[in-house]
Amino acid sequence: VQLQASGGGLVQAGGSLRLSCATSGSADSINSVGWYRQAPGKARELVSTVTDDGTTTYADSVKGRFVISEISAKNSIYLQMNSLKPEDTGVYLCHVDASYRDWQGSEEVWTDYDYWGRGTQVTVSS
């Protein structure tokens, strides 16, 4: 699975951006897709994910402002970011948790893999 994120940029506080992540390749199962971010000098943190059953998760800091969506037919993941704050600044990375099935004799074995895109920079000025 390959991921390519886009849509980042420089925006003033209170503005909006829409991030896109184009995916290609295939897996036997896609367990979740989502967005993470990493600010300078800070650890990578979860922004939002959606699981294969449609359950969405948001970081407390973005609840009510960000909306994640996935369009399977277009192999794309989106993150609509509204009411942006300077603390939202960082590199945003799209992520896919995929599984592959294999057989060991008569036993079905599933292996999970994490895939990351290269990221897109979001800078929010005050």
Give pLDDT, residue 25.
Answer: 87
Question: Which neighbouring-strand residues pair with 77?
Answer: 21, 70
pLDDT tens for 77-126 read 999 999 999 999 999 999 999 999 999 999 999 999 999 998 999 999 99
User: How many angstroms separate the Cα of 21 from the Cα of each of 10, 72, 74, 111, 122?
Assistant: 18, 12, 10, 24, 14
Give pLDDT, residue 26.
Answer: 87
Single-letter amino acid, residue 77: I
Place of tokens 């420089």: 10
pLDDT tens for 43-83 read 999 999 999 898 999 999 999 999 999 877 778 899 999 99
Length of the chain: 126
Question: Which neighbouring-strand residues pair with 80?
Answer: 18, 67
Give pLDDT, residue 72.
Answer: 76
Q: For strand 9-12 and strand 120-125, is the pairing parallel, antiparallel, or unpaired?
A: parallel
pLDDT band for 13, please (50, 70, 90 cuts): very high
Round to whole Å and give the CA distance between 30 and 52: 7
pLDDT tens for 14-36 read 999 999 999 988 888 889 999 99
Q: Do 33 and 77 meet the contact criterion of CB atoms below 8 Å apart?
A: yes
Give pLDDT, residue 106.
Answer: 93
